Amino acid sequence: MKKILPVAALCSIFFIGCGGAQEPAAEAPAEGGAASELVSGYDLANGQEIYDANCASCHDEGVLSSPKTGDVPGWTARIDQGMETLIQKSIDGYTAEGNMPAKGGNDALTDEEVANAVAYMVDESVAK
């Protein structure tokens, strides 16, 4: 304790200096970087709500050949298309191996809500 106390005291005196030194360690989730960049600017909390109510029925379990949320290998090539393409296809709907209904089948969703849901899915489906 005798050795630690002076350090703590120094830290409170030079609070900014010590805080600055600790920040990188606290905020550096090394592998999470890619995802947070991809989905920055989207409202992930809203996305999760929209997802739970409209998308989880298929994407939680991979129903009808849908990519399962959290299946990193299954999402990599899809994510490589880029966020804009993923979002546009989710808004318009498309058919490949399976049928992804426009807006997950809920016309009442705004484009922004669909985009947030896609961002949530991507965030859950990249390596962290």
Q: Which of residues 74-93 bind ligand HEC (CB under 6 A)?
A: 78, 81, 86, 89-90
- Site track for ligand HEC across 35-64, x = CB under 6 A: ---------------x---xx-xxx---xx
* Cβ contact 50:117 at 8 Å: yes
Closest to 66 in 3D by CA, of 90, 84, 44: 90
Q: How far is the CB of 32 from ligand HEC (least distance, A)?
A: 20
Applying CB under 6 A, does 107 fall inside the site for ligand HEC? no
b vs e for 37-55, b when ≥16 Cβ sit within 10 Å of the residue's Cβ?
A: ebbeebbbebbbebbeebb
Stretch that binds ligand HEC, among 9-17, 22-30, 31-39, 100-108 (CB under 6 A): 100-108
Q: How open is the CA angle 90-95-96, to the nearest 5 degrees? A: 110
Beta strands in the chain (DSSP E): 94-95, 99-100
Residues that bind ligand HEC (CB under 6 A): 50, 54-55, 57-59, 63-67, 78, 81, 86, 89-90, 96-101, 103-105, 114, 117-118, 121
